[in-house]
Structure 1
Amino acid sequence: MINRVEKLSGTKVIITNFMSKSPLYETDFMDWLTQQKLALASQDITALDWENLAEELDSMGISEKNELKNRLIILLTHLLKWQYQSSKRSISWFTTIANQRDDLQDILNEKPSLKQYIPDILPKAYRNARREASAETGLVLSTFSEICPYDIQEILNPEFLCNTTDDFEKAM
């Protein structure tokens, strides 16, 4: 049990007797999660595992950013392939582009605060996509710009580069 003092809006609040580093967290995560959910729902701060909850919240944020990056890598890879190998365009490339755009839009609509991370994530995602596009197309890496040639509005625009209406019929 630990006593902890926190400041909330300039007022000191003393939180006492809360558990830290629950062994249940290490042995049965799902049971730990259920107990933490119940403690939150009943506002029982003494039953909360503060340290592990904080770690899990941090992990959730990292996971959300990683999902954004991974989807951008897939989308950018396919946009590069679509742009640089027009003779090999396929319905598979088209559906990947369309689906990733839709999924990214959904993620950004559901979690709008993720948009603030795009300027940091996009160059990293493009670096990986460029390398992947080179490997998948057989084109030398220098074929592709070192800096992402698309901005986020273009990347997510269903009519940019791979038009989801017109190109669908052409890809068939």
Structure 2
Amino acid sequence: MQIPDALKSRLAARAGAGVLAAAVALVGWYEGRNLSAYVDPVGIPTICDGYTHGVRLGDVATPQQCDALTAQEVGKALAVVDRSAPGLPDGPRVALASFVYNVGPGAYGGSTLLRKLRAGDIAGACRELPRWVYAGGRKLAGLVKRRDAEMQICLSGLR
């Protein structure tokens, strides 16, 4: 599977702005934006670009609120990555910030992916991403595409 050209363009446009901007673009591409709260595939009330903390059905947000929430939460995910595996190249940092944003720091913290990172096997860690395509016990096509893109971005940062 290839990273969509429109996503490549979006990431390239934000590359000069740094890792956080690229990670926000990646998250936004795969999460999609909803200004009204909805129930995600596993039953969690969600709003904006996949934001779930304290969301209730009926909540509404502005695009500016969504921009701020997404940047804040992706920043937190990037900080988790940077604390857990300092010194990673930008590609893995972007991909893993998107991954942590999606699965949460707890799942990431107990993962084989993180064990491989800490052992210095960055490529092996990147190749763990496609295993994380299930939500609520179901394989989701959107997660398959997202993990493939994350893996490609992760590995591209190693070349």
Larger Rg: 1
For normalisation by structure 1, the TM-score amounts to: 0.24
For normalisation by structure 2, the TM-score amounts to: 0.26
